[in-house]
């Protein structure tokens, strides 16, 4: 009997992977491959590449120890075919195999590539998520609006997490109103658990440095978990040291504190080292033991069984063209400041530098600093999408595209969000200390010292009046704008255009 090949991708590092469950350990051969096609389709952050490659190598060793035959190709192997389909064909010839078992990839790009492989391809659904693609499609059918809150309540009922019979724990579904506190200057967030590179990681770091040393991003120090055991330790560290205050300060930002009280486990969830249900159950257990308050645990669980599952559903529901949408017809090139070129804006300087050094930023830094500015400036959402997909260790298209194209840039026209997430500098000043010492005055609405967020906010509101004036959640904004002195409005719009012209010219802003 011929062996079958079992494909395991770099974001499928789970013992419970459906393709592995369908395989025969005594007969079949696991195929894993580090290929340039996956490393180069966007200019990935070096730490992201290192995380995936090191984790792949250790997972392959784990499978071998468990009795699997593993055909593993390293990036610098001379026989490397350079792509996943190429490696499957090469291994099929070598093992005289004519059938491939695989778990559905998380990106349309790879789904299409595997469909073109001229072998018998047996697909198994990726059931590591709590909501199947089919269930989400049924939930979405016939709804005028797809809103995460209603989906989240269904997920709570389905999983039983934070439920007391048929009712939510504490009597409320959502404690978001309690989770918007700005961090005080004397706050001291705990640092996430990091891990010193071992021999496998060191070898990968050297390889990544040699091949991707010119990519945006600092490679060392590297401290990400690269095994399931390490990822579980990182999770436990978060639950013990950060979860109790996570709820209060999940939207807060402080200079020099890139992680705040966030878990920094999304890379491990997204490559398969952690299971979403086990993560939520551990957080729920902390609440039940009186070690973390309900607002913190509910907010954390909502990010996983609510938002994470919701955006995956959106990605597959909307189809392969979703990442290319541009409802607002924005066309400006991504400003060089996103790649580390000088900016006088302290908030953007802080978040971009942190992204460069760690391949991480938490959700408010992404949404309300880098994303907000790109949307206000009218940057082409395809370029914004590629930037986020490139620079963050947890960025895979199924999760990144709806967060960027939908939530951040409103490029899907309102599929994900009911209104664009834009704000003036006031929001950043309220939720952070970034504005202290900035070259601009966040309180100045116009003039040479005016914060660019203030100028561009009103210019955005003005230029998109036709689309958003009738939006119930934005009517007050338009009344405020129309109530401004006509000369002030003219000056603000003129200064905003000057700011955009400097961006286009590559001048520091």
The enclosing domain of 19 has a CATH number of 3.40.50.620
The answer to whether residue 147 sits within a structural domain is yes
The answer to whether residue 203 sits within a structural domain is no
Are residues 146 and 282 both part of a single domain?
yes
Are residues 483 and 352 both part of a single domain?
yes
Q: Tell me the mean pLDDT in the region 170-182.
A: 91
CB of 12 closer than 8 Å to CB of 103: yes
The answer to whether residue 256 sits within a structural domain is yes
Per-residue pLDDT tens digits for 64-76:
999 999 999 999 9
For residue 186, what pLDDT is reported?
Answer: 63
With CA atoms as reference, report the closest residue to 185 among 436, 424, 428: 436
Are residues 390 and 306 both part of a single domain?
no
Residue 94's domain comprises 5-124
For residue 178, what pLDDT is reported?
Answer: 83
The answer to whether residue 45 sits within a structural domain is yes
d(CA 429, CA 445): 14
- Going by their DSSP bridges, the two strands 163-164 and 69-73 should be labelled as unpaired
Residue 98 has pLDDT above 80, yes or no: yes
For residue 112, what pLDDT is reported?
Answer: 97
d(CA 250, CA 261): 7
Ranges assigned E (strand) in 125-230: 163-164, 167-168
For residue 1, what pLDDT is reported?
Answer: 83
Cα dist. 444→348, 452, 479 in Å? Answer: 18, 10, 20
Are residues 156 and 184 both part of a single domain?
yes
Instruction: For residue 385, give the 3-state DSSP assignment.
Output: helix
d(CA 402, CA 158): 23
Residue 246 has pLDDT above 80, yes or no: yes
For residue 501, what pLDDT is reported?
Answer: 96
Cβ partners under 8 Å of residue 480, min gap 6: none
Per-residue pLDDT tens digits for 351-387:
999 999 999 999 999 999 999 999 999 999 999 999 9
Domain count, the chain: 3
Are residues 476 and 351 both part of a single domain?
yes
Structure tokens given for 202: 């060191």
Cβ partners under 8 Å of residue 254, min gap 6: 183, 185, 187, 189, 260, 432, 433
Single out the residue in 318, 350, 370 at which a domain terminates: 318
Are residues 353 and 389 both part of a single domain?
yes
Single out the residue in 318, 352, 386 at which a domain terminates: 318
For residue 78, what pLDDT is reported?
Answer: 97
H or E segment and range at residue 117? none
Per-residue pLDDT tens digits for 43-94:
999 999 999 999 999 999 999 999 999 999 999 999 999 999 999 999 999 9
The answer to whether residue 419 sits within a structural domain is yes
Are residues 346 and 492 both part of a single domain?
yes
d(CA 277, CA 315): 21
Dump the DSSP string for 493-509: HHHHHHHHHHHHHT---
The answer to whether residue 198 sits within a structural domain is no
d(CA 100, CA 4): 6
Give the single-character DSSP code of 123.
Answer: E
Residue 187 has pLDDT above 80, yes or no: no
Single out the residue in 98, 124, 150 at which a domain terminates: 124
Are residues 137 and 38 both part of a single domain?
no
Report how far apart the first and last C-alpha atoms of the chain are (Å, whole number).
66
For residue 185, what pLDDT is reported?
Answer: 62
Per-residue pLDDT tens digits for 441-464:
999 999 999 999 999 999 999 999
Residue 471 has pLDDT above 70, yes or no: yes
The answer to whether residue 223 sits within a structural domain is no
Structure tokens given for 38: 């996956």
Are residues 351 and 496 both part of a single domain?
yes
The answer to whether residue 382 sits within a structural domain is yes
Are residues 143 and 188 both part of a single domain?
yes
- How would you list the strands of the sheet with 120-124, edge to edge? 69-73, 29-33, 5-7, 99-103, 120-124
For residue 257, what pLDDT is reported?
Answer: 94
d(CA 483, CA 486): 8
CATH code, domain carrying 343: 1.10.579.10
For residue 206, what pLDDT is reported?
Answer: 98
With CA atoms as reference, report the closest residue to 415 among 404, 429, 423, 431: 404
Cβ partners under 8 Å of residue 103, min gap 6: 7, 8, 9, 12, 17, 18, 19, 123, 124, 125, 126
CB of 381 closer than 8 Å to CB of 407: no
Are residues 437 and 487 both part of a single domain?
yes
Averaged pLDDT score across all residues of the chain: 97
For residue 237, what pLDDT is reported?
Answer: 98
Q: Tell me the mean pLDDT in the region 25-35.
A: 97
CATH code, domain carrying 287: 1.25.40.80
* Residue 41 phi, psi (nearest 5): -65, -25
Say which residue the tokens 């784990």 belong to. 62
Are residues 70 and 114 both part of a single domain?
yes
Residue 337 has pLDDT above 70, yes or no: yes
Dump the DSSP string for 301-355: HIIIIIIIHHHHHHHHHH-TTGGG--TT---BPPPGGGGT---S-HHHHHHHHHH
């Amino acid at each position: 009997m011929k062996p079958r090949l079992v494909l395991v991708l770099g974001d499928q590092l789970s013992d419970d992977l459906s393709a592995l469950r369908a395989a025969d350990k005594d007969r079949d051969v696991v195929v894993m491959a580090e290929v340039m096609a996956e490393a180069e389709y966007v200019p990935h952050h070096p730490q992201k590449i290192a995380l995936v490659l090191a984790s792949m190598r250790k997972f392959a060793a784990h499978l071998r120890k468990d009795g699997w035959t593993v055909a593993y190709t390293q990036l610098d192997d001379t026989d490397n075919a350079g792509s996943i389909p190429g490696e499957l064909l090469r291994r099929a010839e070598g093992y005289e195999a004519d059938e491939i078992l695989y778990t559905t990839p998380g990106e349309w790009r790879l789904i299409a590539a595997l469909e073109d492989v001229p072998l018998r391809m047996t697909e198994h659904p990726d059931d590591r998520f709590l909501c199947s693609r089919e269930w989400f499609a049924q939930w979405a059918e016939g709804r005028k609006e797809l809103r995460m809150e209603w989906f989240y309540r269904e997920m709570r009922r389905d999983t039983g997490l934070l439920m007391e019979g048929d009712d939510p724990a504490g009597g409320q579904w959502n404690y978001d109103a309690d989770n918007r506190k700005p961090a005080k200057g004397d706050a001291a967030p705990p640092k996430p658990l990091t891990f010193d590179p071992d021999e496998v990681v060191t070898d990968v770091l050297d390889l990544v440095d040699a091949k991707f040393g010119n990519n945006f991003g600092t490679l060392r120090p590297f401290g990400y978990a690269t095994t399931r055991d390490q990822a579980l330790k990182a999770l436990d560290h978060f639950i013990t040291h950060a979860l109790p205050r996570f709820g209060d300060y999940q939207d807060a930002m402080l200079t020099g504190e890139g992680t705040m009280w966030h878990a920094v486990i999304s890379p491990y969830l997204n490559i398969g080292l952690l299971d979403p249900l086990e993560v939520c159950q551990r957080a729920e257990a902390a609440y039940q033991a009186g070690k973390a308050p309900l607002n913190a645990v509910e907010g954390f669980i909502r990010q996983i069984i609510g938002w994470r599952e919701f955006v995956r559903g959106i990605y597959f529901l909307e189809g392969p063209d979703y990442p290319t949408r541009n409802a607002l017809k924005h066309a400006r090139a991504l400003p060089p400041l996103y790649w580390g070129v000088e900016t006088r804006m302290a908030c953007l300087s802080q978040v971009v530098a942190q992204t460069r050094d760690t391949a991480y930023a938490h959700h408010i830094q992404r949404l309300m600093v880098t994303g907000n500015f790109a949307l206000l400036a009218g940057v082409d959402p395809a370029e914004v999408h590629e930037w986020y997909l490139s620079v963050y260790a947890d960025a895979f298209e199924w999760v990144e595209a709806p967060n960027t194209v939908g939530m951040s840039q409103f490029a899907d026209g309102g599929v994900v969000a009911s209104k664009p997430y834009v704000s003036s500098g006031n929001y950043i000043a309220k939720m952070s200390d970034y504005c202290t010492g900035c070259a601009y005055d966040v309180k100045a609405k116009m003039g040479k010292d005016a914060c660019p967020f203030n100028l561009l906010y009103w210019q955005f509101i003005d230029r998109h009046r036709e689309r958003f004036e009738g939006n119930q959640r934005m009517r007050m904004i338009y009344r405020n704008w129309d109530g401004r002195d006509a000369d002030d409005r003219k000056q603000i719009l003129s200064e905003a255009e000057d700011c955009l012209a400097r961006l286009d010219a590559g001048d520091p802003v």
